[in-house]
Structure 1
């Protein structure tokens, strides 16, 4: 028997090593399988709607069909994206949104010819694979029917209904690609252009598109990943009270920590955010980040009443749920809106769109302070400010660069400061880049400034260090600035970069 067999110590050591190696190998393999299963589940979990294939299933089906298809085969692919569906998720929640998606698919499926396959390939995107051959006009008509069906009012609960528009990109085999990879790229470009043009469009791919939309399309897809990977961050540009020689606040500026291209300013991606509808996500996320930063500032620097500001673009201001979404964020964090300033980038939008005017009114009622950003030497605009619900007037950097119009500049500055004092508004000079500019705004009794002279936009940790060391005092070697009314706090000015591109738009 084995019990009577004597093994040498070396055999025992070898046997033990083998057992350990096998155990480790089995554990690693099982762990790998678990990770792969979880990853696969996350990828496919949102596709589990009756009648739909998963992403991997339809990709495999298309690839297999291409490998066996005769040379004279013709077929089409649709890529459908639901416009601004993130707004639906924010309004009704994830669970209700899934029910809405299921109702939408139930409308699409009956419209599809036999042998057609459909899959949900992203949270709000569907891919349709037409195996049968149809004419181009038939494909376009089917796309219109699908779009119309999606847009029909959807009952949610009680008497509540919603309407969801869609964008559709179309590509044909073999005209727009002979491999699945080529066809997929054609679809992506066509859909991107449909979204860029405002959504609710049907775009058929053409070869001319590929040459002009390559970089934008690349960012379009990477932005989706950037949101998931938390690659967007806020930089802060300090705002200084020159009279009191204190920190007045900071303006939040959006940056993208791109894994390949480094830190990107908004001019590289802000238009794509607006076209895709993700700009509304930026607004909610940005406000949450500002609230977290404000809580840190309050704890670290209780002696300062630091206000944080950020921009709202006209695109965001046309979102009728803007005030409701912001109110939800404030309630979630039990935060007062008075700690934040909303900058309106384009003054002219006040007059053109009632929805924007209503949004600003509602935001003001919530307690946010409102700033008009980039006011130039415009007397007509000044006369209209009295009737607008604003607290802060930001003087455009062009004011500091109008050397040939110094007489008009001086007269306008005096009128502006007098107007602000009389109406309890605050004037901020933005774009102060050197001591000469600082002296100029100080001579005009403007005591709140922002610009590269004091600091460029910096990450949050650097901003905390900036306050701790009171670094602005190093630049405060001008004569004391005359007093300006300061009942309003939380104002901001622009950075030394392009004012329209490098601010946080929310």
Structure 2
């Protein structure tokens, strides 16, 4: 239908308000458009309603003019179509404008309008908002008394309703995108971004403390492997629903990662309260689930941190709860662990090391200490073991136990090992220049990752050549626990090392649970008895039996044998009685800087301290 010029001006004017509207500006744009319609047609009220087809309700989203006195609850606010009066019921699936005039069979509607606005004996035109075949809302104009509507006016209202429906669709699309950006598609829970935003708001200074629970489902990948990822997804949805049932209106729940959930509990403000809540949740989450005809269950590790608004950040709270969950998993899983000051310090240290270790390696911020190895029968120094240290600018001297494992976990073990090998050989070469010929062996620890790296043999060759060292002067040490993970691969790598003329020792011997067979299969020259069996050698019969067996086997295989962690004269006597004549430990010397050890080498012997 072609509109009259005057009505065309009206539609254009309303379009000017609506054309650029988005979610934040839509309410004011709606009111401006309704105001123009009221002024143009001279009616008393113009309103806009949006329908929710899923819940079968219609909601008043804008009206002009605004009512001065709105009842609570508002009879016109949210109306359910089920059981609604004939007028509202007719608008649910309205396709063409519908006119109601005084005296029409709409008494219930008239009473609703009168109770909400004080207007009686009204006429109304309702124009549907359409999106494809669906009715998504209604544009209504209400006048006191009777009013007739021409075909041109109804055509203009249909054109205007189309403009309102376009804004509604645009805003709805924006809201869906906004929801998707903050929610997990699989479970419908908040996602990481959504939870981070909510956490940030609740961590503002002055807000109350609250608990954060970090759920890590144990070994979900096994369920995926056996039953498939569809079953795994269904299991995650079930867990999410169980957690959702546990939460209240103030709680927040999110799927943080693949098999990880985060729950914010405002009602738990102390560690004890949070721990009790977490234990209850653990029982619910780990209850059995029927999937694909099987009844399955997964355990969970839960970490608990109490957030301190004004002090903690989103990252620190989540990291704390995550570290506590890792502690629970490390303890065997299916447990709850609190984030303690000890974990806080350990986490801070780990983060510091991860961030700065590479720079420390590249900038020579590391240093080596050396610990002598002694012939117990003569006191002669037979070898020195290179032990890396990190002189941290703020933490002081960091021992290798605090950062070598982290280096392996962040793929820096090979770079760290290359630095240690080069620095140890450089130091050894400088000693030899000053001491002349020596029979002292240099022992250097090698990580599993470094041993099996493609360039390891080339690095050893190049390093020995750079410092003019004989391969026989170097002994590579690899822990037995590392060897156990893949004996065949380790044996191949160690054989290549020995082919260079470099010797090989198994460190921490006795901790790999199948040690005796390894002596037969691995190409090694020496074994070092773990300090665990040496510390109480003079009082523990079991330790004496183990060390005695190792001595017998080492003798049979013609291997050098060195005891680690020798600290007492009584243990020294026991070692000699068992036939072990070489050792290292605090009884003779602690790890010391290169110059201190050089002075020891110049003398050549050490006596028990």
Give the TM-score, by structure 2 length.
Answer: 0.43
Measured after TM superposition, the shift of residue 358 of structure 1 is 2.1
SS of 2:364's partner is coil
The residue that corresponds to 2:351 in the other structure is 217
Pairs within 5 Å for 1:109-128: none
- 1:301 corresponds to: 435
C-alpha displacement at 1:460, in angstroms? 0.6
Report what 2:386 is aligned to: 252
Residues 13-162 of structure 1 correspond to what in structure 2 (within 5 A)? 136=181
Matched, 1:464 2:486: no
CA shift in 2, pair 1:215/1:414, >3 Å: closer
Deviations 1:264-319 (A, max 9, x none): 10232223211221211111111111111111221222353111112223333343
Please give the per-residue CA displacement for 1:205-235, whole angstroms capped at 9, x wherever unaligned: 9744333444422222122332233111111
Q: How has the CA–CA distance of structure 1 residues 329 and 171 changed in structure 2, closer, same or farther, with 3 Å as cutoff?
A: farther
Is the contact made by 1:233 and 1:256 (CA closer than 8 Å) also made in structure 2? yes
Is 2:343 the counterpart of 1:234? no
Contact 2:380–2:605 under 8 Å retained in 1: no
> What does 1:92-491 correspond to in 2, within 5 Å?
136=181, 175=197, 207=315, 208-211=317-320, 212=323, 213-302=347-436, 304-347=438-481, 349-350=483-484, 352=486, 354-376=488-510, 381-400=515-534, 401-402=536-537, 405-406=540-541, 408-470=542-604, 472-473=606-607, 475=609
Given that 2:182 and 2:193 are in contact with CA atoms closer than 8 Å, whether structure 1 keeps it comes out as: no
Secondary structure of the structure 2 residue equivalent to 1:361: helix
Please give the alpha-carbon distance, in whole angstroms, between the structure 2 residues aligned to 1:176 and 1:252.
50
> Kindly tell me: are residues 399 and 215 of structure 1, through their superposed partners in 2, closer, same or farther at Cα, counting changes over 3 Å?
closer
Computing the radius of gyration from Cα coordinates, the structure with the larger value is 2
- Output one character per residue of 1:16-51: Cα deviation in whole Å (capped at 9) or x when no partner: xxxxxxxxxxxxxxxxxxxxxxxxxxxxxxxxxxxx
Residue pair 2:481, 2:512 contacting (<8 A) in 1 also: no
| CA distance in structure 2 between the partners assigned to 1:229 and 1:348 by the alignment | 29
Structure 2 contact 480–512 (Cα < 8 Å) conserved: no
Q: State the alpha-carbon separation in 2 of the partners of residues 265 and 404 from structure 1.
A: 30
1:426 and 1:395 map into 2 onto residues whose CA distance is: 11
Look up the SS of the partner of 1:371 in the other structure.
strand
> What's the CA shift for 1:453?
0.4
Equivalent residue for 1:21?
none
Distance in 1 (CA, whole Å) between partners of 2:401 and 2:362 is: 21
**Structure with the higher helix share, 1 or 2:** 1
Q: For the structure 1 residues 352 and 471, does the alpha-carbon distance in structure 2 shift closer, same or farther, using more than 3 Å as the test?
A: closer
- Cα distance between partner residues in 2 of 1:138 and 1:318: 43
Deviations along 1:141-179, one digit per CA (max 9) or x if unpaired, are xxxxxxxxxxxxxxxxxxxxxxxxxxxxx979983999x
Is the CA contact 1:291–1:335 (under 8 Å) kept in the aligned structure 2? yes
Q: Is the 8 A contact 2:361 2:415 kept in 1?
A: no
Tell me the SS of whatever aligns to 2:356.
helix
Aligned equivalents of 1:214 and 1:332: distance in 2? 38
What CA distance in whole angstroms lies between the structure 2 residues aligned with 1:177 and 1:373? 48
- Aligned CA-pair RMSD: 3.9
Secondary structure class of the residue paired with 2:521: coil
SS of residue in 2 equivalent to 1:356: helix
For the 8 Å contact 1:255–1:263, the answer to whether it is kept is yes
Give 5+ residue unaligned stretches, structure 1: 1-70, 73-131, 141-169, 179-201, 476-506
Q: Distance in 1 between matches of 2:512 and 2:178?
A: 61
Per-residue deviation, 1:463: 0.9
Could you say if the C-alpha distance between residues 295 and 135 of structure 1 is closer, same or farther in structure 2, counting changes exceeding 3 Å? Answer: same
Structure 2 residue runs without a partner (length 5+)? 1-22, 25-176, 186-191, 201-256, 263-313, 324-346
- Give the superposition deviation at 1:451: 0.2
Higher relative contact order (CA 8 A, sep 6+): 1
